[in-house]
Structure 1
Amino acid sequence: MFKRIFYSLQEGIVDYRQLGTSNLKLSVIGFGCWAAGAYGWGDVRDNESIAAIRQAMDLGINFFDTADVYGRGHSEEVLARALGNRRKEVIIATKVGNRWSADGTRIWADLSPKYIRRAVEDSLRRLKTDVIDLYQIHRPDPQTPVVETMATLLDLVKEGKIRYIGTSNLSPDQLREYLSYGQVVSLQPVLNLFTRYSEVQLLPLCREKTVGVVVYSPMAMGLLTGKYNKPVSFKPGDFRTMNVLFQGKNFERNITVVKALKKFANERGYSVAQLAVAWVIAHPAVTSAICGAKRPGQIKETAGSFAWKLTHDELIEIDRIVASAA
């Protein structure tokens, strides 16, 4: 039996951490709304996404991350519907810079001032809000100078359309460049037990510069939930088909690792998904781990990660398990 320990905001037990140099205090577990866009994630239904978001709020989760590219804006619309009149209770983060072609067949990077101006108005409308708490660049745009992108974002802060500027998918040098032009309060890198390159330079840099870290894919796109007992084939267009973790021998090896991690977690009364998230939020540089959910039960389980404070010995054993299958 897993320890289903869930804390509500009213009880005052849920962890909250300050995001970088901002005055935002994020729940250590954030809710990721990528799947709510209902594109590239298999069977996703709006009513279940809405129920999951509302349950997350009831559990004390106050940080919701989306992007204009998710489902061509549909994710933002679903989030707005779910929040309803509870908008002031939460921190909304969305992203700009991944632009769909008119026919919806391709995506390219665009952080030009003209596009940002248009995109922020579209996001404000879809989110049904007057201000976006955290507006993040989704990925670098090699065609637009960073100085132009930052000047536009800083103007949006002055105009009251966004509160803070965040970044995502940057290298250490790229992050330094963004910081040189003004206040950047966060970076969103991938971090999980299978993908750890950000630990080498990015996370130490964020600690040095007081940049908040909101991690995406802490459960490795579902791989660390333990739901795969053997490799499976995904439908064409599913995002997991493009991830090396789900390909060939990698997939087989990773499933073996997850089974061992599951045994380790179960022996301590937790699920492997809770282990995966607990491991991420144990990192001293991490502010919040963004966890996706297609339906209510999933986010309820994830919330149990709050309760597991991994010891030094447990962290060492987890590393050993992951390395043993290399």
Structure 2
Amino acid sequence: MQKRQLGASDLYVSELSLGCMSLGTEEHKAKDIIHTALDYGVNYLDTADLYSFGENEKIVGKATEGIRDQVIIGSKVGNNFDKEKGTWSWDPSPAHIKQGLKDSLHRTGLDYIDLYQLHGGTIDDPIDEVIDTFEALKKEGLIREYGISSIRPNVLRQFLQKSNIVSVMMQYNLLDRRPEEFLPLLRENDVSVLARGPLAKGMLSSKAEQAVASKGKDGFLSYDYNDLVDISEKWKDMTSGEENAKSFQYILHNETVASCVFGASSTEQVKENINAFKKATPLTDADYKQMQSLTKALTYANHR
């Protein structure tokens, strides 16, 4: 699988990567999913301290024992959680970020994390202190690079102006085109997008009809249920059985995107996504424009 540079860093991530949130907590099954993804060419695994209250990081760490040099591991920090109570609260303080990294390294059994991301962010955060903390952790060699996972335009602009982030994780797919407003600005600043939710809860997948029926009943962003039904039918006709692959290709058509981060709860889903992507016919500019004609060029309404 081809790889793309993450920002201006020396990290090169596979065009499809594995979002680990959906792995579950059954260790053997989760490790099989990770190993299948790696065998099929994925080299980036995305986790977070909050996923399953730390258990997800433990699984990722165990699954990559002995092959650390073959994988790029990203994790996230910013949510102060209580595993026993099942609660969490936002805490972007330098003290929490430092302790969060220490805890993540302990859970994963790693000496460093390749990409450490702020798991959210508001304009009221001590942004300068957050940046200074990430820079210090990078200088210590505990992280290689850092980024943010945020869809707040006002927060994004602050980090672009003040920091050396290499990536922004954002939900991005044909139904949620809001990141497209910021792709030129991100590219200008040598910052890449890690696109989560590339299949829009399955509504852009080969099982779009079922996904819309189960997950689109209350709509999606500014689309109501009838809109989603109509789009899914046209999407099926347009993609000729390559729905998953074309969803990925649409996102990756813009080279500011480094990787589509898809979730999987079975090895079959991993194989389906990657095989479809590898076998798909190339996407042309005409195909891209035709796809865009199906949906709206939405923009972020809040936090501007």
Give distance in 2, aligned partners of 1:109 and 1:223. Answer: 30
3-state secondary structure, aligned to 1:189:
strand
1:121 matched residue in structure 2: 102
Within 5 Å, give how 1:242-261 maps onto structure 2.
244-245=219-220, 250-261=224-235
3-state secondary structure, aligned to 1:111:
coil
Please state how far the C-alpha of 1:84 moved relative to its aligned partner.
Answer: 2.4
Within 5 Å, give how 1:267-286 maps onto structure 2.
270-286=241-257
1:96 matched residue in structure 2: 77
> Would you say 1:313 and 2:286 are equivalent positions?
yes
Give distance in 2, aligned partners of 1:177 and 1:143. Answer: 11
RMSD of aligned residue pairs (Cα, Å): 2.4
3-state secondary structure, aligned to 2:207:
coil
2:205 matched residue in structure 1: 225
Please state how far the C-alpha of 1:77 moved relative to its aligned partner.
Answer: 1.5
Give distance in 2, aligned partners of 1:130 and 1:302. Answer: 31
Within 5 Å, give how 1:147-186 maps onto structure 2.
147-186=128-167
Question: Which segments of 5 or more consecutive residues in structure 1 lack a partner in the other structure?
Answer: 1-13, 39-44, 235-239
Closer, same or farther: CA 265–106 of 1 in aligned 2, 3 Å:
same
Closer, same or farther: CA 31–308 of 1 in aligned 2, 3 Å:
farther
Closer, same or farther: CA 190–246 of 1 in aligned 2, 3 Å:
closer
TM-score by length of 1: 0.82
> Would you say 1:109 and 2:90 are equivalent positions?
yes
TM-score by length of 2: 0.87
Give distance in 2, aligned partners of 1:205 and 1:318. Answer: 23
Identity of aligned residues (%): 31
1:15 matched residue in structure 2: 2
3-state secondary structure, aligned to 2:114:
strand
Give distance in 2, aligned partners of 1:207 and 1:257. Answer: 30
2:186 matched residue in structure 1: 206
Question: Which segments of 5 or more consecutive residues in structure 2 lack a partner in the other structure?
Answer: 297-304
2:198 and 2:248 in contact (8 A); partners too: yes
Closer, same or farther: CA 53–251 of 1 in aligned 2, 3 Å:
farther
Please state how far the C-alpha of 1:318 moved relative to its aligned partner.
Answer: 1.6
Q: CA-to-partner distance for each residue in 1:172-219, whole Å, 9 max, x for gaps? A: 44233224443211111111011111111x211111111111111111
2:20 and 2:56 in contact (8 A); partners too: yes
Amino acid at match of 1:254: L
Give distance in 1, aligned partners of 2:24 and 2:79. Answer: 14
2:7 and 2:190 in contact (8 A); partners too: yes
Closer, same or farther: CA 101–233 of 1 in aligned 2, 3 Å:
farther
Closer, same or farther: CA 170–261 of 1 in aligned 2, 3 Å:
closer
Q: CA-to-partner distance for each residue in 1:105-128, whole Å, 9 max, x for gaps? A: 443321101111111011111211
Please state how far the C-alpha of 1:69 moved relative to its aligned partner.
Answer: 0.9
Closer, same or farther: CA 228–18 of 1 in aligned 2, 3 Å:
closer
Amino acid at match of 1:127: T
1:25 matched residue in structure 2: 12
Give distance in 1, aligned partners of 2:124 and 2:98. Answer: 17
Give distance in 1, aligned partners of 2:219 and 2:130. Answer: 31
Closer, same or farther: CA 49–252 of 1 in aligned 2, 3 Å:
farther
User: Once structures 1 and 2 are overlaid, which stretch shifts more, 123-132 or 140-149?
Assistant: 140-149
Closer, same or farther: CA 300–233 of 1 in aligned 2, 3 Å:
closer
1:6 matched residue in structure 2: none
3-state secondary structure, aligned to 2:9:
coil
1:54 matched residue in structure 2: 35
Amino acid at match of 2:220: L
> Would you say 1:87 and 2:68 are equivalent positions?
yes
